[in-house]
Amino acid sequence: MPLFQYEAKDTNNNSRKGYLEAKDKIELAKKLHNEGYFLISAVSDKEQAADRFGIISSVREFFGISVKDKLFFFRNFQVMVSSGIALPRSIRTLAEQTQNKKFKNALFQIEENLLKGISLSRCFSYFPEIFSSLITNMIKVGEESGTLETILASISEHLEKENQLKNKIISALMYPSIIILAMMGIGVLMLVVVVPKLAATFEELEIELPITTKIVIAVGYFLLNYWYLFLILLAAVVFLVRRLLKTPKGRNFLEDILFKIPLLGDIIKKYYTAEILRTLSILIRSGVPILNSLEIASNIAQNKKFKNSLEETKEEVKRGGSLSASLKKYPEIYPDTVIEMFSVGEETGQTGQILEKLTAFYDDEIAQTTQGLSSIIEPILMIIIGAAIGFFAVSMIQPMYSMLGSI
């Protein structure tokens, strides 16, 4: 059982710091809550070892507000609301302990707006880059129905499942990414260190070089003499790709390519499907009308094909059509299983509950597929690495054989 270094506060804003064993952060928060404290921050012994020099926290700060930051906020916010603490005070307490500056400033502004009499959902809507339309609409439903505590628990559950799913996909892609980076590093090292020495030997012996050998030597000399241009070029490519991916057209272009890759395209489609099913399930179970649910789901959909399908489905339903019949027009992104489950949900009046089970099914499917992804990618990487090594070896050894043949 991991040991957590934690910081907590009571209702009088008195701080408490220390160490406590717990299965996870949820259990830690419950233990402290039973003692009259609310968990503010916690770091396990494993996390401390991994982030000894503060590298991870610095990376998180650079890339913005992570799902973990939001998840931690909503978990504690839900506990405070259930304990009857006023919303402004709850927000301020969490803001004071938030390490991400952007998130901290947003929470302080939300507190100020709450004190002015603005509703919580409206306050959240002022920060769409932090709180999605799904979250703000769920908060609105909770305020109107008096079930804010339940809604906050649902949001925490949604963020936790989303975070788990992303982590599984990232973990599956981590191994091949490390192999590719290592291969590129070794390749650059060979081109910079080994190739120039062999090239000098070939030049002294006045050997006629094949075109492949000339290409390898030219690349080696370029990296050796103009390495700064290579770094500038690499940085420019990374910058342009990141800028391109931030635009809808660039992102959709990349996804269209990824969709066509065997296995990987299937995982991406399942991920988007699970995301939409989870969104619709949470909204419908929270009491949001189906048309509003479809509109919200289309607004937060990241892929153009899924977004367009939801927008057109909303128009079909508005004209009196059924949800399942409308989605049936998009067999390339919605399998028959999804359509049938939507149909059963409409017939039984339990669409939200059925979609929740269907989402869990897709989460398990993605988990199982990603577990076997590394074993499938590994032989492919071995072939690529072997081909690269073979090309380099043949290019550099061929002149030597030619020299020996002429003796």
Please enumerate in sequence order all residues whose Cβ is within 8 A of that of 45, keeping only pairs 6 or more positions apart, or say none.
2, 3, 4, 5
Distances in Å between the Cα of 39 and the Cα atoms of 138, 173, 226, 305, 366 are 24, 33, 53, 41, 32
- 135-143, long-range: CB < 8 A, 24+ apart: 137/283, 137/288, 137/292, 137/296, 138/282, 138/283, 138/286, 138/288, 141/286, 141/287, 141/288, 142/286, 143/119
Below-50 pLDDT ranges, the chain: 49-63
pLDDT tens per residue across span 39-78? 777 777 555 544 433 434 443 443 467 788 888 888 889 8
CA angle, residues 255, 360, 47, in degrees to nearest 5: 80
Answer for the pair 259, 268: CB distance below 8 angstroms, yes or no: yes
Q: Name the residue with tokens 């999804």.
A: 338
Structural tokens at position 214: 């000339």
Answer for the pair 128, 137: CB distance below 8 angstroms, yes or no: no
- Structure confidence at residue 45 (pLDDT): 58
Please provide the distance, in angstroms rounded to a whole number, between the alpha carbons at the two ends of the chain: 71
Radius of gyration of the CA atoms of the chain, in A: 28
Please enumerate in sequence order all residues whose Cβ is within 8 A of that of 185, keeping only pairs 6 or more positions apart, or say none.
none
pLDDT tens per residue across span 2-13? 667 777 777 666
Answer for the pair 202, 227: CB distance below 8 angstroms, yes or no: no
- Structure confidence at residue 63 (pLDDT): 45
Classify 40 as helix, strand or coil.
strand
To which H or E segment does residue 178 belong? Answer: helix 148-189
pTM over 0.75: no
The C-alpha atoms of residue 67 and residue 34 are separated, in whole angstroms, by 26
Q: What DSSP state is assigned to residue 38?
A: E
- Structure confidence at residue 88 (pLDDT): 92
Classify 370 as helix, strand or coil.
helix
The C-alpha atoms of residue 374 and residue 172 are separated, in whole angstroms, by 6
Classify 259 as helix, strand or coil.
helix
Length of the chain: 407
Answer for the pair 218, 191: CB distance below 8 angstroms, yes or no: no
Q: Which domains does the chain have, with CATH numbers?
A: 3-146 (1.20.81.30), 264-371 (1.20.81.30)
